[in-house]
Structure formats: C-alpha cells, structure tokens
C-alpha cells in the first residue's frame, strides 16, 4: 500500500491556525478526498477552517485547479466557432439563461450551458426547461457537440465526470454551514466552468435579499475572485454585479418563467428581464469578438426566437406545446390606493418554493405549474382591489404557508423605495 505524502490532520491544523497550504498539499487534499481517503468529518473541519480564516489568492487558484484535475475536461477547439458561456449565482425569477443562450447563439457563437437544478428559493434552469413537454436535460457527449455545432446553444445537465470533487464538497458544505465561504464558492463555480472548456465566461453575480450573497461588498469580492480565477486559467472572464432585492421580471416559478422568456424572445417581456438579457448578451458577444452585435435587433426580428425553437426541438421538446397550468390559484389584491412601495425578493422566492416550485431536498419533485405571477412592480400606481400577485399550485393547502412567507414582503405607500439600479457594477 502506497504511503500518503501528507497527514490530513496536519493540514487541518495549518488552516485552523491561519497558515497557508502549498500547491502540493491542496492537490493531495482534493485527490485524497475524492478517492475517499480523507473522511467527510475531516473535510468538514477543513471547510470550517477555510470559512473562518479564508484563503490566499494562490490557495484559491490551487484549490480550483485541483478540483478541475479531479475529473475530465471538455474542449471545443474543433468546433469551428467561438464559445462564450454565462453563469448566474441565482436569484428569484432569474430565468435569464432561457432567452440569453439562443440570443447569443443566433450570432454564430456556441453557448455550452451546463446547468443545474434548484434547491431552496432559487430556481434551477433545468427545472424550468423540463416544464416544456418532451424536453430532456441529459445528452450524450456526441449529442452535446452536435447540437453546439448545428444549433449553437445547449442547455443541459452536467455529466458526473466534470470536477467530481466539487460534487462531494458542495454536498458537504450544504450540511456543515460553510456554503457562504468565498474561496469555496469561487472554486466550486469556476472549477466546473473552466473544466467545461469555454473560451469566454460572463458572470452574473447577484446581491440583495433574494441573492445567495446578500451584501454588495461581499458580492463584489466574490466576482473579483472568480474573474481572477478565470484569467489565471486562460478563460476571458468578466462579471456584472446585479441587483436581486426585487424579483426579476413578473414570473417566479418554472412554466411561467418559460412563458416570460418566450415573450422576451418575441420582442416583449418585462423591462428588467430584457435589460439584463441584452447586457449579458453584449458582454458574451464582445468576449467572442463581436462587440457591435445588434442584440436588440435579434430579438425584434425573430432571429433569437428561431434559435430558441431549434434549441428546444434538438432536445426533443415541443416549443408549440401548451405549458402546464396549475389547478388552483389565489390572487392577493391591494388594500388601498397608492404606489407599490416595496416588494422583497426573498419572501416571494420562499413563497413560490412553498407552493411547490422548488425543492427542499435534491430528491424532491418540482411542480412545474406552481409559482407566482406578479401584476405590479415597485413604483407602479395601484388602486384598492387591484390584483398585486397571483399564486398557483395544485394543492390549495399550500396557500396558507405561502401567504405566511409574504407577511410584510410588500407594501403600498406614497412613493417607491429606492432599490438602486439593476446593474450596479462590472468587474474585468
């Protein structure tokens, strides 16, 4: 039996005492954990030490590279077209991938979107797309490459072979209170994106009540860390800092978010969803060598919609099929005349989750028709009795707990609360 080059307890003590781990130590740690030599309780102690004491820039880079090395990497060199990808840190009503991927692909840029499922109040892109009858998330490598070449956009489930160390580590962080550690978040996201093989990456890093990272300063720190990791790995990377204090768009759920995305692709849709889609598209296309692409025109003339239809059909979905609708609905109306002053993202996300749009455990099913449709946004004038939002579910017993989550989540007053701009900054 081979002798291990390091003792994990020594490494834990080093990090506990605010020391620095070497490239060789971090490479061994990730490999030993992936193959089961380092136990979960030992890695739990290490992640807590990292959470409390942080990591240097070199340590974060070495951790990320070790996680990439734990599995396979993809390459698109023979594709014949540039690649550009996007990652969002997630939020309430964040359906941007759906209109964005076909929009960018309609300019001849390949968009390889390996996406995930929702857990908690932030919805998963795959859950949304699976509300389209027939659509499938799992593709073979051959299907994946063929669709990238022929259609240009692929949104599918990541294979287990990409950064498997991250899969183990993420599950552990989720149950040990260490999810929010910036070195662990950054290495988790970027190990998968770099292993995916894209040449360019645009990050949508959110802050605010409905975001994974609520504090703007912490969000900026995360964005800067991830942009640097991308550049260290030779991936052209930029980040936008975007506001998630208010739900994005008017639809929160799965099927209803698909409907809203199709409205955007048809040249309509809510102004904030359109603004963020266009801003991210410009960044992705600029990194791919097309800084002057007419993204507004591609929405207006049907170019992006044509690519959407081909993208859905390539994965056996029917873009013309009716989307699921809920059996029960409950509408909440304004109690007075005035201005919709506040509308907090997190409570609306939790309410949609309680209606069945999300899952508490990875094994839980998602109810595709469940969710919330907003009828007004902060700043809109409302009159007494006017609908503010409608909740949808197949199980009416869920309405009570959803309404509990929304207690105090919105208000009517003389003027709207200033939540700030949708796009608050850029990191490159």
The question of whether 173 is a catalytic residue gets the answer: yes
Do the beta carbons of residue 224 and residue 181 sit within 8 Å? no
Residue with structure tokens 């709207």?
A: 416
DSSP 74-95: ---GGGSS-B-EEEE---TT--
- Which member of 88, 131, 187, 188 is catalytic? 188
- Which member of 168, 192, 206, 220 is catalytic? 192
The question of whether 188 is a catalytic residue gets the answer: yes
The question of whether 166 is a catalytic residue gets the answer: yes
Do the beta carbons of residue 129 and residue 118 sit within 8 Å? no
The question of whether 128 is a catalytic residue gets the answer: no
CA distance 131 to 322: 10
Task: Identify which of 426, 382, 427, 348 has the alpha carbon closest to the alpha carbon of residue 93.
Answer: 348
Residue with structure tokens 């941007």?
A: 96
Task: Identify which of 96, 10, 22, 46 has the alpha carbon closest to the alpha carbon of residue 280.
Answer: 96
Counting runs of H as helices and runs of E as strands, what totals does the chain give?
16, 13
The question of whether 380 is a catalytic residue gets the answer: no
- Which member of 62, 127, 166, 272 is catalytic? 166
Could you tell me the CA-to-CA distances from 272 to 217, 279, 295 in Å, in that order? 22, 11, 15
Beta bridge partners of 402: none
The SS3 assignment for 227 reads: helix
Task: Identify which of 225, 227, 245, 243 has the alpha carbon closest to the alpha carbon of residue 235.
Answer: 227
10 Å CB burial of residue 423 (0-12, 13-18, 19+) is: middle
Q: Which two tokens stand for residue 33?
A: 């954990």
Do the beta carbons of residue 239 and residue 226 sit within 8 Å? yes
Active site residues: 87, 166, 173, 188, 192
């Amino acid at each position: 039996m081979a002798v291990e080059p390091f003792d994990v307890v020594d490494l834990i003590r080093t990090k506990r005492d605010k020391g620095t781990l070497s490239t060789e130590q971090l490479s061994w740690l990730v490999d030993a954990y992936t193959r089961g030599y380092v136990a979960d309780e030992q890695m739990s102690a290490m992640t807590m030490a990292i959470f409390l004491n942080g990591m240097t820039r070199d340590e974060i880079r070495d951790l990320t590279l070790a996680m990439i090395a734990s599995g396979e990497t993809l390459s698109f060199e023979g594709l014949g077209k540039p690649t550009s990808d996007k990652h969002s840190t997630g939020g309430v009503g964040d359906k941007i991938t759906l209109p964005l991927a076909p929009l960018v692909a309609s300019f001849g840029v390949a968009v390889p979107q390996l996406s995930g499922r929702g857990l908690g109040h932030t919805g998963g892109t795959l859950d949304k797309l699976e509300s389209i009858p027939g659509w499938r998330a799992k593709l073979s490598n051959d299907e994946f490459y063929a669709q990238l070449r022929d259609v240009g956009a692929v949104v599918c489930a990541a294979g287990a072979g990409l950064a498997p160390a991250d899969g183990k580590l993420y599950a552990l962080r989720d149950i040990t209170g260490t999810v929010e550690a910036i070195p662990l978040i950054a290495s988790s996201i970027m190990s998968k994106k770099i292993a995916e093989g894209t040449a360019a990456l645009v990050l949508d890093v959110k802050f605010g009540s409905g975001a994974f990272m609520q504090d703007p300063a912490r969000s900026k720190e995360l964005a800067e860390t991830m942009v640097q990791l991308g550049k260290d790995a030779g991936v052209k990377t930029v980040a936008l800092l975007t506001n998630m204090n208010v739900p994005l768009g008017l639809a929160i759920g799965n099927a209803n978010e698909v409907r809203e995305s199709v409205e955007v692709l048809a040249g309509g849709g809510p102004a904030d969803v359109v603004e963020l889609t266009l801003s991210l598209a410009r960044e992705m296309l600029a990194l791919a060598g097309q800084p002057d692409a007419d993204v507004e025109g591609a929405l207006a003339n049907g170019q992006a919609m044509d690519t959407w239809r081909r993208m859905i059909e390539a994965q056996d979905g029917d873009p013309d099929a009716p989307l699921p609708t809920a059996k029960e609905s409950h509408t909440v109306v304004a109690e007075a005349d005035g201005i919709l002053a506040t509308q907090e993202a997190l409570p609306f996300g939790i309410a949609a989750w309680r209606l069945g749009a999300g899952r508490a455990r990875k094994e839980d099913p998602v109810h595709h028709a469940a969710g919330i449709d907003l009828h007004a946004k902060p700043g809109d004038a409302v009159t007494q009795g006017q609908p503010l939002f409608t909740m949808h579910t197949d199980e009416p017993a869920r309405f009570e707990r959803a309404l509990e989550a929304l207690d105090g989540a919105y208000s009517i007053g003389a003027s709207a609360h200033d939540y700030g701009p949708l796009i608050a900054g850029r990191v490159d």
